[in-house]
A and B are shown apart, each in its own frame.
Chain A
Amino acid sequence: MNYIKEADVVVIGGGVVGCAILRELSKYKLRSILVEKEPDLACGTTKANSAIIHAGFDAPKGSKKALTNVRGNRLYHELQDQLNLDIKWLGSMVVATTAEEMATLEELLSRGIANGVKGLEIIDKEAVLSKEPNLTPNVQGALWAPTAGICWPFGAALAFARCAVQNGAEVLTDCAVEQVLVEDGKVVGVATSQGAIQARYVINAAGLYGDAIAASAGDTSIHIHPRKGEYILFDKTAAASLVQGIVFPTPTKTSKGCLVCATTHGNVFIGPNAQDMADKEDLATTTEGMNAIIASAKKLVPTLPLGASITEFSGLRAVSDNGDFIIEASSVHGLIHATGMQSPGLSSAPAIAEEVLEILRELDDTLVLKHDFKAVLPRHKAFSAMTRAEQEAAIAANPLYGRVICRCETVTEGEIVEVIHETCGAKTVDGVKRRTRAGMGRCQGGFCGPRVTQIIARELNIPVTAVRKEGAASQMFYDKEAAGGKD
């Protein structure tokens, strides 16, 4: 076997879980490589979810979900400053509108206390409406969880990865794993679309495809099925008529219901629904799905500003057979699973990473911590978040900061150029959008999309026609000659 690279550990999957694991690995004297099949990190479940760091009262006591959620929440509080994570600790509410639902809140409260969640309390109607005046007048009370927050999931994944890279780890995108290579019952590496990589340990953080990765190593013990959730996102101008924080309905036996929730960037979304799917690639939104979440959200906020929706999207949760996370050593020596993450996977990610390292230490007692681990990431500030003085200084240092490309979100050319060239930089239009928010606003890239495409082409020194929206075949524009010559 010809190996293109040698590593001690390969992490498969660049979602928030894989990136958190890579960061944890980078604390040790190990050569670690993360491989991601998409052109960018966090393109799967991490990209399309509710972006909540849950308090931890949902999952049953003793489950992996409950343990890692409560621990993960605490870790995010610690990591926020080091990694400059965009998190707002707004607290969450589970709202009850009937006596029956009020009884359910009591159950959630005791489950939360058993899970070790701090600060939970049941608040009355007046307290609920003073926090969220646009909620239905039918509200009777709510379970208030002050430790819950909202975050920017892509930013979290990127920060974990960049911290790992600054500590010597490597990230390969556009690198799909074809097979986990096994010899004599032991992992020896992975075969990828870019060539084989040698490794003593492989971490399976492949999300929806965690079962396929396991099976390629001969481990058929796990199964993952996709469960779709659809969302509608509203313009910032509509936020005032919606909610300021995180509002859940009271869960029923069959569903957690869809929420109305603020984002760290000042928008509000409604969703998700939950539909079991056959196809792991089916990210289509549907009329039925959108009607369902609108109807459900109206029970919480009766007057939804539907004219102010700016985009709709869906994500697929990776659901395991028993519904809990899969964090365990495989029967194949050297392979560790960290998959089957649905909610609260994002909240749990840093704690899942610790668990994975725990398992790795059991497999290998020679692991040595680095004494010079660099925990703090250099600070980044969006131009739109800078003070006027900071903006002036930024333009003086680099005039490209004086050219606004995305007018809805006030994103400058300087920032776009920077994210293309930074560690784990953007290669695609969506990659630039996720990092800078160019194209995230109300015009959805109508004005800036063509300009962003041209900036990417210029900076990467590729033709405009080679610039992709996201996936391999997602070409944005074509040369004129090609069309004229055809007919």
Chain B
Amino acid sequence: MKQLHYDIVIVGGGPAGLSAAYSAYENGAKKILVIERDRELGGILQQCIHNGFGLHHFKEELTGPGYAHRCIELIKDKPEITTMVDTMVLEVSGDKTVLAINPQEGLMQITGDALILTMGCRERTRGAIRIPGERPAGVFTAGAAQRMVNMEGYLPGHKIVILGSGDIGLIMARRMSLEGCKVQACLEICPFSNGLTRNIVQCLHDYDIPLYLSHTITKIKGKDRVEGITVAKVDERMQVIPGTEFDIDCDTVLLSVGLIPENELSRGINLEMHPLTNGPIVDQRRATSQPGIYAAGNVVHVHDLVDFVSEEAELAGKYAALQVTGCLPAAVETVTVTPTDGIRTCVPQRLHLPEGGEPVKLFMRVAAPLRKVKLEVLCGDKLLLSRMLPVVKPSEMVAVELPPEKTAEIKGELTVRLNRGV
């Protein structure tokens, strides 16, 4: 078996992996490897041919492939960075050994002084939410359909219903309309949409596609191919209200019912995981619970903007590079960050702060939509930071940054909360 060694081995060549690689290079790492399972770099961005990417990170509006191209341009022709495509990682072990495979090289045992996990996420399926009914062809996750339409050049069907108002579902509602298909409806079990507001407007309203909030599918019909669905209204506990059922004619059901960080490899090395993000617990440097193993992007927690994925991955790349070059400032203070009062998750969950502090950016998701709230970051009783937010929603991540002079003051546990008394 081929044996290889790199300073930093990055698992996953999507936006997180590419941004981590570039940042590691910029911060002095000399031998970096990016491993990608697909036939080209860029990850899921390559199938996201719509625009709206890059406004924060590249300060201009790009398509998904455009954003990927920018990331690829930054790393290509750098002798310090090697990329392998069409290569699958089968196993990662705690001693930072990666077992990978591709048709040309066969099995490869690759060791790294540091490892960065950037495997992204996958889509929740019909089986995970137990949609009843028959099991015909024509039920796809929205992302699978998106790949077929945008990369392979085929349609998943002609008369479409979208279940779930996540961003991929909304984007696909518009995409299918543009392809000449009829999008009958978008159904959302929550009383509010789970996508970005701009996507609700630009992908549903602009195409006269009805959005049914508090509705779900109670039956998929069709022996061979989808022939229709039964839909019902749900109550506040998301239970079907009997008597509210109605049928919608369709040949295709696209599911956009949530994303799950792809952590099967992380579980193999017993990384400490967070039950709500479904990703590894990380510190502000995106270091996991295992020394020398970092994680960033959707594998840590699902993002709504790729720009934030890149930003986080650059942290992982930077600190991994500092570690392998022996320049990482030692931490003197270890604290946890606990979300309370209306905040569901916060990444990082833990801080390892050096003397004099370090910049810390907190990425949070709220539990429910609210208006006019104050986001507060506290260390014990001491208010470190507060910010007025006119609107917060679960679908839009909230980010705040604590500068080093603030984090230098941190002595003890941190909490983040929404203060509604404003």
Contacts and interface: CB of A to CB of B under 8 A. Distances in A.
A471 B133 contact: no
A434 to B, nearest CB: 13
B367 interface: no
Interface string B127-141: 110101111110011
Interface string A6-41: 000000000000000000000000000000000000
B144 A450 contact: yes
A477 B155 contact: yes
B304 interface: no
Nearest to B107: A392
Interface stretch (A121-129, A151-159, A310-318): A310-318
A480 B137 contact: no
B408 to A, nearest CB: 41
Interface in B97-156: 101-107, 122-123, 125-128, 130, 132-137, 140-141, 143-144, 147-149, 152-156
Interface in B268-292: none
Contact of A479 (B103, B105, B154, B219): B154
A486 B154 CA distance: 15
A286 B134 CA distance: 9
A449 B128 contact: no
B342 to A, nearest CB: 23
A309 interface: yes
| A284, A410, A465, A477 interface centre (most CB from chain B within 10 Å) | A477
A403 to B, nearest CB: 5
A285 B137 CA distance: 15
B370 interface: no
Given A447-B144, A450-B148, A475 B137 contact: yes
B106 A313 contact: no
A443 B127 CA distance: 9
Contact of A444 (B103, B125, B132): B125
Interface in B228-247: 240
Main secondary structure of the interface of B (DSSP, over half): mixed
Interface residues of B, number: 52
Contact of A483 (B106, B143, B153, B155): B155
B224 interface: yes
Contact of B132 (A284, A307, A486): A284
Given A388-B107, A477-B148, A286 B86 contact: no
A37 B130 CA distance: 29
A134 interface: no
Nearest to A487: B180
A392 B108 CA distance: 10
A305 to B, nearest CB: 12
A286 B180 CA distance: 33
B180 A237 contact: no
Contacts of B157: 478
B179 A287 contact: no
A472 interface: yes
A473 B137 CA distance: 9
A286 B181 CA distance: 29
B40 to A, nearest CB: 14
A407 B101 CA distance: 12
Contacts of B106: 391-392, 395-396, 402
Contact of A309 (B127, B137, B140, B221): B127
Contact of A480 (B37, B90, B154): B154
A153 B107 CA distance: 32
A444 B225 contact: no
Interface in A327-367: none
B102 A402 contact: yes
B127 A311 contact: yes
A312 B122 CA distance: 19
A446 B123 contact: yes
Among A285, A443, A475, the one with the most B-chain Cβ atoms within 10 Å of its Cβ is A443
A213 B213 CA distance: 49
Nearest to B158: A483
A437 interface: no
Contacts of A233: 127
B181 A403 contact: no
B88 interface: yes
A327 B355 CA distance: 83
A478 B155 CA distance: 5
A8 to B, nearest CB: 34
A476 interface: yes
A290 interface: yes
B387 interface: no
A292 interface: no
Contact of B104 (A307, A399, A464, A472): A399
Nearest to A413: B103
Given A310-B125, A400-B103, A402-B105, A287 B134 contact: no
A443 B122 contact: yes
Nearest to B149: A480
Given A313-B135, A407-B37, A454 B125 contact: no
Contacts of B130: 232, 285, 290, 309, 312
Contacts of A237: 264, 267
Residue in B1, B102, B127, B223 with the greatest tally of chain A CB atoms within 10 Å = B127
B223 A471 contact: yes
B225 A284 contact: no
Contacts of B102: 402-403
A82 B300 CA distance: 47
Contacts of B224: 468-474
Contact of B37 (A404, A444, A445, A486): A404
Nearest to B105: A402
A258 B125 CA distance: 25
A172 interface: no
B218 interface: yes
A479 B137 contact: no
Contacts of A464: 152, 154
A309 B37 CA distance: 26
Interface string A440-465: 00111111011000100000000011
B107 A310 contact: no
B225 A473 contact: yes
A281 interface: yes
Given A402-B104, A407-B37, A446-B141, 18 more contacts: A283-B134, A285-B132, A285-B133, A310-B125, A312-B132, A395-B103, A403-B103, A408-B264, A447-B144, A465-B154, A468-B137, A469-B137, A475-B137, A478-B156, A478-B158, A480-B154, A483-B181, A487-B180
Q: What 3 A-B pairs come out closest when comparing CB atoms?
A: A311-B127, A469-B137, A473-B224
Interface of B: 1, 37, 86, 88, 90, 101-107, 122-123, 125-128, 130, 132-137, 140-141, 143-144, 147-149, 152-158, 179-181, 218-221, 223-225, 240, 264, 267
17 contacts: A284-B134, A286-B219, A287-B132, A312-B132, A395-B107, A404-B88, A407-B88, A449-B144, A450-B148, A471-B223, A473-B223, A474-B225, A478-B154, A478-B155, A480-B149, A483-B155, A486-B158
